[in-house]
Amino acid sequence: MKMLQKALLAVATLAIAAMPALAAQPKLVFGSDCTYPPMEMLDKDKKIVGFDIDMIQAVAKAGGFEAVVKNVAWDGIFAGLTAGDYDAVLSAVTITEERERTMDFSNPYVDAGQVLIVNKNLNGLTLLSQFGGRKVGAQIGTTGAIEVMKFKNIKLKSYDEAGLAVEDLYVGRIDAVVVDSPTAKSYVLQNARYKGKLKIVGDLFTDEHYGIALKKGNTKALAMINRGLEIIKKDGTLAKLAHKWLD
Amino acid sequence: MTNPAPAAAKPGGKSLPPGGPTKDSMHLAESSLIPGDAETIAAWKIAFFGAIAVLVILPIWRPSPFLEIMSFVPDGLIATFTVTFASICIALLLGLLAGLGRIARTTIINRIATVYVEVVRGIPLLVHLFYIYYALGPLLHLNGFMSAIAALSFCYGAYLAEIFRAGLQSIHKGQMEAALALGMSRTQALWKIILPQTIRVILPPIGNEFIALLKDSSLVSILAVSDLLRRGREYASTTFFYLEAYTVVALIYLVMTLFLSRLVGLMEERLRTHGRKNN
């Protein structure tokens, strides 16, 4: 019993001692699926890098909080948010009506949309609707996969990671991959393996915006993030980062 | 994943059957359905009919999402079935060949079979799947289905080989000697005298491997093969009904494995009574 009291006292003391520090610099943990270049990925030293990562550090600095990014798998990423494994999902999340029903979103920070990646030798097919009877790949649970599901005659192959879908396209087991435009550009234009073998066809066929997803009702964190976002939008930091990672 | 756990069979001697040190404990393998054990059968009935009852009640109680899930996953069920069945057939053939190879007297055959078993058993099934599909993809051009079947049968062939080997070695050497004394060739004796007896010994542990294979087939969902688990994941990933989708998936797997384990149990029972008459 005495031990318990002592332990409780110690915890209480620690909590009180830590409080001012916490109040000065609250910490927010962000869940991110780091298999999605150029938004978030691991570099050679297993460090998490990418547009989202640089952006959130700038937002944190401007918004007055500490940002920690945690690498998690995409499938189940929103379940982890509900379970409280992290405070927010920072993973190139498209803001959709359906998602807004279960989560709160920050203000949009990047405009993106879905594009088609196909083999360089495939000509004449530029719209998703032309892929009836063919196999089209997308990452599970992404807006890309949802778009493909709208066409009942297209065989959707869903992958755990966008990169696995692109690899399967490269090998020739599927006919196209639907993916967000920044990621498509990163694979087709910058990846040494796929450069010259794959191409992006057609225009953006969805109008999408990335936002940071938070658990419904977490207004305090939402306000901090939105405040930081507004500041880096105004002072040009966001545009600079977009130029660095997305062009 | 189950290991066949081959008993340390003494070559030629009165050795041990696979799965355990004595003939009786062999039946305590994964299904642990001891025929005639009223308690086990009662437990089986509760699990089996309980799972079916829940699967029927859920969509009636809450049509959305349960009815939606159940209309979403059936083609995944077919995929799971196809992959499992095809893998079982090929694995049996591979296992028999490698098992015979393991007891072969020709050094080269013996060596090949032993290396195959040792190498495959040392690599996780999930790694096999990734390897055949993604690493060897540019060379082999196998589609997801074929890769899944290749990986599963390659792996389970090695597990089954150990069961075949232990089973073959469990037959008293007097049987072979008697057959040879009657003028049979070694091959003849193997096919007509040893193998038929072996099959009686190894059928139950092989049945257990089938059940394990059915469960392991859920791993193929990582190859974008739309099996039962993948369909459940696809549904959950866009609707966020994780609890509901995985509950249905788990119950369907449970019904399938319980059904199979009962089949294995019945088979054991029949073989045992049949065996007694003969001995």
Whether B141 and A171 lie within 8 Å, measured CB to CB:
yes
Domain ranges across chain B: 47-278
DSSP-assigned letters across all residues of A201-229 = ES---S-EEEEEEEETT-HHHHHHHHHHH
pLDDT (0 to 100) of residue A12: 64
Are A65 and A106 within one domain? yes
Are A196 and A76 within one domain? no
Domain at B47-278, CATH class: mainly alpha
Mutate to test the interface with A, among B131, B140, B225, B237 (most CBs of A within 10 A): B237
Looking at the domain assignment, is residue A43 inside a domain? Answer: yes
Mutate to test the interface with B, among A33, A157, A197 (most CBs of B within 10 A): A157
pLDDT (0 to 100) of residue B274: 65
pLDDT at A47 over 80: yes
Looking at the domain assignment, is residue A131 inside a domain? Answer: yes
Looking at the domain assignment, is residue A20 inside a domain? Answer: no
- Are A129 and A226 contacting, i.e. CB atoms less than 8 angstroms apart? no
- Are A62 and A119 contacting, i.e. CB atoms less than 8 angstroms apart? no
| More confidently predicted of B137 and B115 | B115
Are A223 and A163 within one domain? no
Are A137 and A158 within one domain? yes
Are A216 and A189 within one domain? no
pLDDT (0 to 100) of residue B194: 92
Supply the CATH number for residue A70's domain. Answer: 3.40.190.10
Nearest CA-CA distance, residue B223 and chain A, Å = 7
Whether B134 and A167 lie within 8 Å, measured CB to CB:
yes
Q: Is the pTM of this model over 0.80?
A: no
Taking contacts as CB-CB distances below 8 angstroms, the residues of chain A near B233 are 75, 140, 158
Q: B143: which 2 tokens?
A: 């589609």
- Are B15 and B167 contacting, i.e. CB atoms less than 8 angstroms apart? no
Q: Which of A175, A228, A239, A221 lies closest to A201 in space, CA to CA?
A: A175
Domain that holds residue A232: 27-111+209-246
Mean per-residue pLDDT of chain A: 90
pLDDT tens digits, B154-203: 999 999 999 999 999 999 999 999 999 999 998 899 899 999 899 888 98
Looking at the domain assignment, is residue A2 inside a domain? Answer: no
Looking at the domain assignment, is residue A7 inside a domain? Answer: no
Looking at the domain assignment, is residue A5 inside a domain? Answer: no
B18: which residues sit within 8 A by CB, 6+ positions away? B4, B5, B6, B7, B26, B162, B163, B166, B167, B170, B201, B202, B205
Does the ipTM exceed 0.95? Answer: no
- Are A30 and A86 contacting, i.e. CB atoms less than 8 angstroms apart? yes
pLDDT tens digits, B9-37: 334 444 444 444 444 444 444 445 445 57
Structurally, chain A folds into a number of domains equal to 2
Looking at the domain assignment, is residue A157 inside a domain? Answer: yes
pLDDT (0 to 100) of residue A18: 55
| Residue labelled with tokens 């005639």 | B36
Looking at the domain assignment, is residue A8 inside a domain? Answer: no
B111: which residues sit within 8 A by CB, 6+ positions away? none
Are A89 and A66 within one domain? yes
Residue B54, φ and ψ in degrees, nearest 5: -65, -40
Taking contacts as CB-CB distances below 8 angstroms, the residues of chain A near B237 are 75-76, 140-141, 145, 158
